[in-house]
Amino acid sequence: MSLIKTEEEIEKMKKSGALLSYALQAVVDAVAPSVKMSQLDDIARQAIEAGGGKPSFLGYKGGGGVPFPATLCVSVNEEVVHGVGSRNIELKEGDIVGLDIGCVLDGMFTDMAVTVPVGSISKERMDLLRVTRQSMYSGIEAIKVGGLISDIGAAVEDAIDTKKYGIVQALVGHGVGHSVHEKPQIPNYRSNSFPIVKIQKGMCLAIEPMVTLGTHEIETADDEWTVVTKDKSGAAHFEVTIVVTESGAEIITPQPKIRI
């Protein structure tokens, strides 16, 4: 798998990204109190398949032995990411719900996520959503040909008050295109623990900060997928797929319209 995508591959990814954005908007529009996670999962799958794509998360094994059993990751409140979307759990007024979705179209993968309010939410949770989303855009603005992948994490961290919020460290952004997850890994904080990678034109990257109202520590639930905050504090997750261009970065999975 090449870190650099060809012009033809990028055009295919743009089509994949447009389909994915359409599907996620359909899911976001359906979010409301009393709606079940499984209903959102059905909407996601139908929208992707109607557009000629395939859900890339469904059946994905990742590093474990349990295939992911849903199209959509639905993560509520203290669930950071990878919540199983096929659960028959109803959303409640005041919840915040992360919606993470991926698809493959014409052999090319795209990935995106958003966290949205369910009805009216507290100011604390609304601020968390806004800070997390802005940190994602700050990371994108740091992308320049000839720069370093680590510049992205530094920009994300600088956009977050780390005295008030925790930045999840055990999970990172990544390359995308030929598969669900590719190199390079993209931390959302400053670190010397990752390889030094130069940003090049044609790279396709998933930028995805995960921020909590508590500490950065996380753990995995018994289903072997759902990642939760260790201190049970609320969490938010935003993600887009971008392609590196001569002038910076182009978002190819536009974020859905949400109420924040």
**Residue written as token pair 């509520």:** 76
Say yes or no: domain 7-251 is CATH 3.40.630.10. no
Cα–Cα nearest to 235, from 146, 145, 141, 169? 169
Question: Was 111 annotated as part of a binding site?
Answer: yes
Give the domain ranges of the chain: 7-251
Q: pLDDT per residue over 225-249, tens digit each?
A: 999 999 999 999 999 999 999 999 9
Question: Was 100 annotated as part of a binding site?
Answer: yes
Question: Was 181 annotated as part of a binding site?
Answer: yes
Q: What is the pLDDT of residue 65?
A: 77
150-166 burial code (b ≥16 CB/10 A, e <16): bebbbbbbebbeeeebb
Global confidence as pTM: 0.97
Q: pLDDT per residue over 99-127, tens digit each?
A: 999 999 999 999 999 999 999 999 999 99
Question: Was 158 annotated as part of a binding site?
Answer: no
Q: Is residue 8 over pLDDT 90?
A: yes
Q: pLDDT per residue over 128-180, tens digit each?
A: 999 999 999 999 999 999 999 999 999 999 999 999 999 999 999 999 999 99
Question: Was 174 annotated as part of a binding site?
Answer: yes
Evaluate whether 153 touches 169 at the Cβ level (below 8 Å). no
Q: What is the pLDDT of residue 15?
A: 98
Question: Was 141 annotated as part of a binding site?
Answer: no
Q: pLDDT per residue over 213-225, tens digit each?
A: 999 999 999 999 9
